[in-house]
């Protein structure tokens, strides 16, 4: 069985500050992990994914995430927040090559000027 926990349903940061969105997973098989972003009135867009290659994964828009097996974590970071980063972010896990994604509840990121 697999599950994802995202700590914090809402996160607020100032423009230029570090963004840290937390994701912990549970999986009985080696996981594949994803971060998706949903901007207002749009669909989900892939930010980055971990597929058992490098543990530090770089994505679009300056985001990156590090897979830490010992901590069962896949936290998303960005060194400097921009107003355009305001959106809802979803962490997801799957155990198979074609399996469905299991999502966390999402974290809404607000960026203050």
Partner 1 sequence: EAGVTQFPSHSVIEKGQTVTLRCDPISGHDNLYWYRRVMGKEIKFLLHFVKESKQDESGMPNNRFLAERTGGTYSTLKVQPAELEDSGVYFCASSQPRAGPPDTQYFGPGTRLTVL
Contacts to partner 1 by CB under 8 A: 32, 36, 41-46, 49, 51-53, 90, 94, 96-106
Decide whether 25 or 32 has the Cβ nearer to partner 1. Answer: 32
Q: Which two tokens stand for residue 112?
A: 């203050």
Q: Which residue lies nearer to partner 1 by CB, 5 or 17?
A: 5
Partners of 4 in the β-ladder: 25
Q: In angstroms, what is the minimal distance from the CB of 53 to partner 1?
A: 8
Please report how close the Cβ of residue 21 comes to partner 1 at its closest, in angstroms: 15
Residue found by looking up tokens 């594949």 in the block: 32
Task: For residues 36 and 83, give the distance between their C-alpha atoms in angstroms, rounded to a whole number.
Answer: 18
Site of tokens 């828009």: 61
Q: Nearest approach, Cβ of 42 to partner 1 (angstroms)? A: 6
Q: Which is nearer to partner 1, 19 or 102 (CB)?
A: 102
Least distance to partner 1, CB of residue 1, Å: 12
Measured CA to CA, the distance from residue 94 to residue 81 in angstroms comes to: 28
């Amino acid at each position: 069985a697999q599950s994802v926990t995202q700590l914090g349903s809402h996160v607020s940061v100032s423009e230029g500050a570090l963004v840290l969105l937390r994701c912990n997973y549970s999986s009985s098989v080696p996981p594949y992990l994803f971060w998706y972003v949903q901007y207002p009135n749009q669909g989900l867009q892939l930010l980055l994914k971990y597929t058992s290659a490098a543990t530090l994964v770089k994505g679009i828009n300056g985001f990156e995430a590090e897979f830490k097996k010992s901590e069962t974590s896949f936290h998303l970071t960005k060194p400097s927040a921009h107003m355009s980063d305001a959106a809802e972010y979803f962490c997801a896990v799957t155990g198979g090559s074609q399996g469905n994604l299991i999502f966390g509840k999402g974290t809404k990121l607000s960026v203050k000027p």
